[in-house]
Copies of this chain bind each other. A is one copy, B any other.
């Protein structure tokens, strides 16, 4: 079945947040944004493609770092406004080198963007 991507609830900028989760361990790795083109490319290639709001361009996770993400399934929530992308991630998902972007705990670690 070819999904009707236009039926997803894209925000005012044509974007939808995508939570990326390791398919077997269920670790939440990262969150990034997709537009319809990046989601289409993700489904076509089974590799994650996102939209960079700062650079205003598509990016393929791992294209430069080698830390690619093989997509096993894409889920969406009851509001159809958030995606859950199940992947098999090679190496770190975070630009800091951590496996997951969510490596800090509120109340234990200093709160600031890295």
Contacts and interface: CB of A to CB of B under 8 A. Distances in A.
A1 interface: yes
Interface string A1-28: 1111101110000000101010001111
Interface in A80-112: 80-84, 94-96, 98, 101-108, 110-112
Contact of A107 (B2, B30, B104): B2
B9 A82 contact: no
A111 B8 contact: yes
A74 interface: yes
A93 to B, nearest CB: 10
A96 B103 CA distance: 31
A114 interface: yes
Interface residues of A, number: 47
Interface of A: 1-5, 7-9, 17, 19, 21, 25-28, 30-31, 43, 73-84, 94-96, 98, 101-108, 110-114
A43 B106 contact: yes
A30 to B, nearest CB: 7
Nearest to A22: B26
